[in-house]
Each structure stands twice: as structure tokens, then as C-alpha cells.
Amino acid sequence: MSSNLVIDIGNHSTKLYVFTDKKILRSTNIPGQDWSKIIAATEAETFSGSIISSVVEIDSELTAVLRRRALCVVFDGNTPTPLKIEYITAETLGPDRIAASLAGWQLSEGGNVLVIVAGTCITYNFIDKSGAFRGGAISPGIHMRLQSMHEFTGKLPLVKMEGHQPLIGNSTETSIRSGALHGAILEVKGMIAEYSTIYTDLKIVVSGGDGSFLAEALKNGIFARPELVAEGLNTILNYNVANRLIR
């Protein structure tokens, strides 16, 4: 049975996934962008095609290694996908947003969907029922909020996300955590409410490193898909192979 290798290179880690059809067989997480470790991890896998999505410039040796093994898609704003991109600055649209949006739209079974990816930033991505990516919003992620309060003030400490998080903070630490965490939750709830007033049939999909935390806080009616970006990348690879679009 053929398999796909999906490589998602983010700001803080690199994730490798092996897919058979639409199922993840296994995954590997490598801190940062250690190219020698990434290349070694790919050499340990067997695959019939691969796709790379990256927020940084990709090491040329990695793509060379992959292309010697099998066909390879380096995903960028010019890569064909099943989505219609209606975004004025499409060249600046992050590949992770496109991949997550595609997978979320497929989960909605062709309806209007708001895909929320909570990572370094929280991105809101609206895809209408015709499969058009219309745009959305970008705001600071939870860890960025905590980090920025420490870096841009003289005395506020760096507080971790984990720990007591009361609504009413009774110390500087719990006040910072309350502001960052409850602030993010209320922001997301507010965004969902605003979109839902316009699109009454709206479905919500949440993903990203902090997606599970947000999904738990939001409760009912939420699809939580931790590996949404990888699922979207796998679909894009299959789409390009099936339609003979590999350059």
C-alpha cells in the first residue's frame, strides 16, 4: 500500500507524518528546524510521495533528498488546491492556514466553516460553502500574550500557561494567566458569535497546539482536530498527484 510523507515545519518544531490514504500511521516531532535530524528521519521512512510546508526557508538538501526518493511538492501560495483563494494578498497567506482551511472545509462536508488554529498566533479562517477561502483574522496566541507581557514591561514576570487560572486573579501570576487565557477564550467566543450572526449554519473546527485547550473551554458544537494542518497537506499532495499537477 502506498504512503505519503507530510512534513510540517513550524516556528518551534518540525513534524513528520506518514499517511496511508487519510490515516496517520505514525508521526515524529523534532524540536526547531534541525535539518540533519529532519533528513535522517525522512531516510528512515518509505513513501511514494511527499509534501513540505514551512514557515522558514527550506534547506535545499532536504528537498534534494526527497526528490531522489519520490515525487515531492514544496507547498506555497502557487500550489494548486481544491480551495478557491479569495484573499487580496494571496502571496502572503501562510501555507498552514491554507492546509488547515482545506481540511476543516472537508470536515464541514461542504458547508460554511470557521477554522480556528491556535498556535504561535490564533488564526481565524473562513471558508464558505462554495469552497472559497474568504479570509479571517490573526491575533496573538496564548504563549505570545504571556511572553509579550513579560518582554514589554519592566516588572511583570514570565508566567507559564500551566497552573491555577481563576477568573479573578489573586496574585500577579494568576492575574497574568487569567488575562492571557480567559482573554483568549472570550476573544474566540466573541469571534464565533459574530460570524454566527452572519452565517447561521456555521460549523467550527479548532486545531493547533493550544486547540485542545480552547475546544475544551468552548464545549459543544466544536470539532477538535489536533492534526488538521497535516490532514490538509496530505489532501493537497493527493490532489496534485491525482490531477498530474506536480511541477
The pLDDT, as a whole number, for residue 21 is: 84
Same domain, 57 and 121: no
Q: Which of 21, 96, 128, 210 is catalytic?
A: 96
Q: What is the mean pLDDT of residues 176-202?
A: 95
Confidence label for 197 from pLDDT (cuts 50, 70 and 90)? very high
- The pLDDT of residue 218 is 86
Q: What three-state secondary structure class fits 7?
A: strand
Residue 163, pLDDT > 90, answer no
Residue 79 included in any domain: no
Same domain membership, residue 64 and residue 153: no
Residue 216's pLDDT band (cuts 50, 70, 90):
confident
100 belongs to a structural domain: yes
Residue 159 lies in a domain: yes
pTM more than 0.85 = yes
Model confidence at 245: pLDDT above 80: no
Same domain membership, residue 162 and residue 59: no
Q: Mark whether 98 and 148 lie in a shared domain.
A: yes
Domain closes at, from 44, 74, 104: 74
**What pLDDT shows up at residue 78?**
83
Cell matching residue 84: 478557491
Across residues 195-205, what is the average pLDDT?
A: 94
- Give yes or no: residues 180 and 155 share one domain: yes
**In which band, very low, low, confident or very high, does the pLDDT at 154 lie, cut at 50, 70 and 90?**
very high
- Find the domain containing 48 and state its range: 4-74
Beta strand spans in 161-221 (E): 203-207
Q: Does some domain include residue 243?
A: no
Taking all residues of the chain, what is their mean pLDDT, rounded to a whole number? 92
- What sign has the CA pseudo-torsion 38, 120, 223, 114? negative
Residues 25 and 123 in one domain: no
Q: Is 59 a catalytic residue?
A: no
Q: How many residues does the chain have?
A: 247
Both 58 and 91 in one domain: the answer is: no
pLDDT of residue 62: 93
201/111 same-domain check: yes
Q: Residue 240 falls within a domain, yes or no?
A: no
Q: Is the pLDDT of residue 242 over 80?
A: yes
57 assigned to some structural domain: yes
| Same-domain check for residues 108 and 222 | yes
In this prediction, residue 158 carries a pLDDT of: 96
Residue 71: pLDDT over 80: yes
Q: Is residue 245 part of a domain?
A: no
Domain boundary pick from 56, 74, 92: 74
CATH number of the domain at 174, please.
3.30.420.40
C-alpha span between 142 and 144 (Å, rounded): 5
Dihedral over Cα of 56, 61, 66, 67: its sign: positive
Q: Long-range contact list for 69-75, CB < 8 A, 24+ apart?
A: 69/42, 71/241, 71/246, 73/49, 73/236, 73/237, 73/240, 73/246, 75/51, 75/99, 75/233, 75/236
Domain identity same for 105 and 223: yes
Q: Are residues 95 and 144 in the same domain?
A: yes
In a domain, 190, yes or no: yes
pLDDT at 247: 59
Q: Which of 74, 94, 126 is the last residue of a domain?
A: 74
158 & 199 share domain: yes
Mean pLDDT across 18-42: 92
pLDDT at res. 227? 92
Q: Looking at the 3D structure of the chain, how many domains does it have?
A: 2
